[in-house]
Every structure is written in structure tokens, then in C-alpha cells.
A = this chain, B = another copy of it.
Amino acid sequence: MALTREQLIDAAVGVLSEFGLADLSMRRLARELDVQVGALYWHVKSKQELLVDVAARLLDAVPRPESPTPALAPMAIAALLRQLRTALITVPDSAEVMQLAQSMRPESLDPLGWILDFLRIAGVPESDATYARHVLVNHLLGSIGAHQEALALAAGTEPSESSSDWGDEAFDYGVRVILRGMALEPIAG
């Protein structure tokens, strides 16, 4: 039975999740799927295009939240960011993949657009909203990247378990700071 694009994306997500971006090569995917390398290029135009689809797939785990009221919007933003972090934090190099996708085809990453929607609902002036979204997304991807690179280095050393909560705390601190700086105070801590 013929290979499908979906199977190719699945395989790519699998290799990324288990082994990271360095091991995610077209040749390896071909081996995994029992086809020749060239076959993959009938289903995707390039490796980059495949990675954009991988990024979108990673965010499928995040369901669209109900539209919040203005008063609840700051909390909804914080909650959405937490969910995005949870979806990405366990996948090695996910921050890098997301960055690529965001620059190549941002419209394929719906959940990042919801942040913009919620900022508007919260009352952030239209002129600031896109900037504000960038600050939040930079923080999201930056923290994930730093956390994962720390893990990667720690893998060489002894596995000092404490590395997981450090990232959580740092991430939440940043979200609180940024929202406060926009004069958006989440109601619940």
C-alpha cells in the first residue's frame, strides 16, 4: 500500500520525539518507512516543508479554548501558554522546529494566533498587539529551548533530577512579568 504524507509526518514526529533533530534525516525516514529516499520527495517538496508540518502537528495537542471575557483574558493567555509549553517541552528541539515553521508559514500555527486574539480581547491596543504576541512567543520558545539544551548537556553529566522544576518556575515568572508589564493582571496566580 502506498506511502502517504501523513505517514511521513508521523514518522518524522516519531524520530524527532525519540532522537532529536540531529537524527531526523530524510534518509533515516526513508529507511524507517522502507522506501528509497527519492520517494519522500514525491510527498513533500523539501525537508523544510516537512518540518513545518511537523511543527503544526505538535500543536494539534492544544485544543482551541473558549473565547474568554475581557476580565478573564489575561488568565486565558497564561493558561494557553502553559498548554503550549506542555505540548512542546517533551519533544527535543521542538523550539527550533517551531521557530522555523513560524518564519516559513506562520499561518499554519493556529494556537499562536489565538494568543493575538486574546490580547485584543484583553484590551491591548491594536498597535501593540502583534508586538505583545511576539514577546510572549519569544519567551515561550526561548524558555523551552534553554530548558532542553540544559537537559541535553545534563545527559552528559549525572542526571540531576532537579532540572525539570527549574524550567517551570522560570517560565511562569516570565509570563507573569510580561503580562504585568502590559498592565494585564491575571486574576488567579
Contact = CB atoms under 8 A, between A and B. Distances in A.
Given A138-B139, A142-B138, A153-B104, A128 B178 contact: no
A21 to B, nearest CB: 12
A158 interface: no
Interface in A156-178: 169-170, 173-174, 176-178
Contact of A146 (B134, B145, B153): B134
Contacts of A177: 132, 135, 178, 181-182
A135 B103 contact: no
Contacts of A141: 138, 142
Instruction: Give how many copies assemble into the complex.
Output: 2
A27 interface: no
A131 interface: yes
Given A176-B181, A181-B177, A182-B177, A134 B142 contact: yes
With most chain B CB atoms within 10 A of its CB, the pick from A132, A134, A169, A181 is A181
A79 interface: no
A49 interface: no
A71 interface: no
Contacts of A181: 176-182
